[in-house]
Structure 1
Amino acid sequence: MHFPQYRPRRLRRNENLRRMVRETFLRIDDLIYPLFVQPGKGIKEPISSMPDNYRFSIDELVKEIKDIYKLGIPAIILFGIPEKKDELGTEAYAKDGIIQRAIKAIKDSVPEIIVITDVCLCEYTSHGHCGVIKNGQIDNDATLELLAKEAVSHAEAGADMVAPSDMMDGRVKAIREALDRSGFSHIPIMSYAVKYASAFYGPFREAAESAPQFGDRRSYQMDPPNAREALREAELDVGEGADIIMVKPALPYLDIIYRVRQAINRPIAAYNVSGEFSMLKAAIANGWLEEKRVVLEALTSIKRAGADLILTYFAKEIATWLSE
């Protein structure tokens, strides 16, 4: 039998050789850890559909973030559960809102960690939608003013970055202009530019108590079969001033991450969402998959597709494994 001169297995023979020619690396610096904060004190409430994840009161959240920072994770993204909800989501932009108070407490205790805030109304509205409701429909332009107020209130509280997730047209421009007018031209925007109306968000909606009370979000989040539209959305947000472009979800949309990476000259983030997390956790709990290998493989695939940053509920585990 005659083999060609090149044998690929030569460079797979042992771990040191594999490391030397490895093309894609997952790093602790790539990770952003999502966290949920709620009113109260001394609360660390398990989220039933998301094992090892919790809704924290602010005091417990600060303890958690101290541990996160010790692991070397550079950034968190905050989601808030307010004391009360109303039609306009007023607690989203209240100076003493749950997120605003949480930011201040975090910055008092762990000032070095990057605090990113989700900018949306769905967690704060009584109807659970991401915008102002008029005549049974989402009023895009009326929503922009409230999103801008929310972003500015987060910056005033000490947020390092804001991340609009609502998918209203023009919201990046509205937020950028509001931040600049208020003296926060240094605050970057990580835009959920390519956010699909996905079935993978279920556990998150339990965690954030943000399920819509009527209808769904398909009139503003993207239709899952569309790929070219993703590039249009990303290009629009870059033109409006987005500093980082996000694709959400991640694993079912690796092709979209790749396309956006090829087309957009900005850092690309990908959100490894709650449904992706929970399905792996369920398989791991049943002994069907080996946790460390499967999680690292899944997250490396997101990096390989082109993401620079990954928002993931596995961040603590990954940071521990990568430090070993």
Structure 2
Amino acid sequence: MSSITGFNFNLSFRHLYIQFPAQSRRKIEYGCTCTAVRPVLCSTSSSVSHSDENHVSTSYSRRLMTFMITFLLPLPKSIQLSGADAYAAADDLVLVQEEIRKVLSKSKAAGVLRLVFHDAGTYEMDDDSGGMNGSISFELDRPENKGLKKSLKILVEAKKMVDEKQPVSMADMIAVAGAEAVSLCGGPKIPVRLGRLDSMVPDPEGKLPEETLDASGLKQSFQRKGFSTQELVALSGAHTLGSKGFGNPVIFNNAYYKVLLEKPWLSSAGMTSMVGLPSDRALVDDDECLRWISKYADDQDLFFEDFKNAYIKLVNSGAKWRRDS
């Protein structure tokens, strides 16, 4: 087969596609990876149907759109994919994104993004426990996860449709959904790698940062999870979405930091005292955090870039991966 490098790129690209057509994609030898989700929520599909003509007819256009993105996305050498596997991974990601977009709206974005933080936020470096593993499915009755059942439910519906063509873990669904929520509301586009395995048990309790922590406590909590103060401040910007009082609740921008600098909770004007959580307000009282708050308030592009990188790190924290991912 011809190389895909050099002047013969177009010709060899066609050969590469013919070598690995959609209808001969790898069979899935593992079962449904959504083991953290209760059986009633899981699809029984375990392989890609060879008779799915609609998928075959649209596969080439999807692969063409995602080909360059897949090969340009930087990955550690140990997990770089071969041509056929990279095609399949890109195709699978597009499938997940398409189904999520069908059920996701701007009004649901904040809840979906919160789902990401509450699943991944249990990670602890010391014992490599918790993290992005879909265990939130078992943890919805915990007080800190109140209100997340609706957010998970819409992803379960999307997952059923994905599983009919390609089994996917709930951890992957949540990770991609959070990125789609950010993009839908005007934030940065965030590339998310697939291949996470779901946990079969809930994560230990008491691992999420508490809303009442001061800045010192927040920094210590995030350090145990492998995140710097800068990453703590960048990830906190997710609170720009939702009903916490930081600008438009369905627009992802740097309004969070601008409002923090104004300190409206010090005002005696009614509900302005309710803006944000105690942990949000605490950030402004810490010199190191304040330095990053000021930078992000002045430069939205910088915030977007740093949030994107911190988000990728968050959804990879504690994840266990399929061997072929």
Q: Same fold (TM over 0.5)?
A: no
Tell me the TM-score normalised to structure 1 length: 0.23
Whose helix proportion is higher, 1 or 2? 2
Structure with bigger RCO (C-alpha 8 Å, 6+ apart): 2
Whose strand proportion is higher, 1 or 2? 1
